[in-house]
Amino acid sequence: MMRPVLVLLVAKCLNKNIPASVYHLASAVELVHQGSLIHDDVVDESETRRGQTSANAAFDNRLAVLLGDYIVSKSLQEVVATRNLECINAISALIGTLSEGEITQLDVLNSDILSEEAYFDIITGKTASLFAACTTLSAILSGASPDQVESFRTYGTIAGLCFQIMDDILDYHDSQETGKPSGNDLKEGKFTLPAIYALTHSNRDWTAHIKAIRSLTATPQQIREVTEYTLSNGGIDYAIQMMQDLKTKALNALPTQMEEPLLAAFNAYLELIINRSK
């Protein structure tokens, strides 16, 4: 429930009594998120989600797609209940943005070039856009000024980037707690920030490995070699430092003169994201 919590945190920062519309928004963003995860698992042909069997693996792709559509439709009903046209338009556009992020990721699979810029384009569309919607729309429903809205938008975007970077770091953890098998991203043809950094700063030619992984024809040995090289050549450390730098930017973006308990809560939220184990 990371996203609804963020919606309520922003509203609490701006109002002692949270408007009823904010609760509908919190429900809407969580339902959009859950529906998008089901669709994402279908596209990626994933068999697990956070350590549990994915909907498409438990049933089949047809039912999973319909279930995802149903959940997204419920999210639209929740956002309509806010009675705020800006929110309705924003959530409708967000659903398109999430799809565009998935399409961009699929398009990158056809490229043998590793790009940090392309990586951030993808995670901005697939992950950060939803976090940004949480903070932005909650601020709007809570009567924030334009400057405050922009401040919370920046914070939400950065929180989403950190969330995805940490998710990608956890893919290198061989632990049941992560809910993802180690190297799962590489097996799906995805190069995330740790591997992108390690391989692009290497003196070794990784072209054959990159082509094989992108085309989903990589051998277990090739997957293992890229994983081990990433772990031993600064990939994880670089990603962790990136999150710490982003965290500083997020906190600096918050509206000035925020009460200390609330500032501590926003800091704790980021700490929870970057220190989680699953």
Q: For the segment 61-101, what is each residue's pLDDT rounded down to a tens digit?
A: 898 899 989 999 999 999 999 999 999 999 999 988 888 88
Structural domains present in the chain: 2-148+155-272 (1.10.600.10)
**Distance separating alpha carbons of residues 267 and 155, to the nearest angstrom:** 11
In tens, the pLDDT along 117-161 reads: 999 999 999 899 999 999 999 999 999 999 999 999 999 999 999
Question: What predicted TM-score, i.e. pTM, was given to this entire model?
Answer: 0.90
Contact 136, 6 (CB under 8 A): no
Radius of gyration of the chain from Cα atoms? 19
In tens, the pLDDT along 162-207 reads: 999 999 999 998 655 444 446 789 998 999 999 999 999 999 999 9
3-state helix, strand, coil split of the chain in percent (to 5) is: 75, 0, 25
Instruction: Pick the more confident residue, 183 or 276.
Output: 276
Q: What is the mean pLDDT of residues 27-49?
A: 86
Instruction: Pick the more confident residue, 39 or 139.
Output: 139
Closest-CA residue to 166 (of 49, 278, 52, 7): 278
Q: What is the mean pLDDT of residues 225-253?
A: 96
**Distance separating alpha carbons of residues 187 and 219, to the nearest angstrom:** 9
Would you state the pLDDT for residue 180?
Answer: 45
pLDDT higher than threshold 60 for residue 115: yes
251-255's contacts with Cβ under 8 Å and 24+ in sequence apart are 251/155, 253/151, 253/154, 253/155, 253/158, 254/151, 254/152, 254/155, 255/13, 255/147, 255/148, 255/151, 255/152
Contact 249, 158 (CB under 8 A): yes
Would you state the pLDDT for residue 210?
Answer: 95
Contact 151, 266 (CB under 8 A): no
Q: What is the mean pLDDT of residues 48-68?
A: 84
Would you state the pLDDT for residue 112?
Answer: 83
pLDDT higher than threshold 90 for residue 278: no
Contact partners, residue 116, CB within 8 Å, separation at least 6: 193, 196, 197, 200
In tens, the pLDDT along 219-229 reads: 999 999 999 99
Instruction: Pick the more confident residue, 22 or 258.
Output: 22
Two tokens at 71?
């959940």
Q: What is the mean pLDDT of residues 28-57?
A: 84
Would you state the pLDDT for residue 106?
Answer: 80
Would you state the pLDDT for residue 177?
Answer: 47
Would you state the pLDDT for residue 181?
Answer: 45
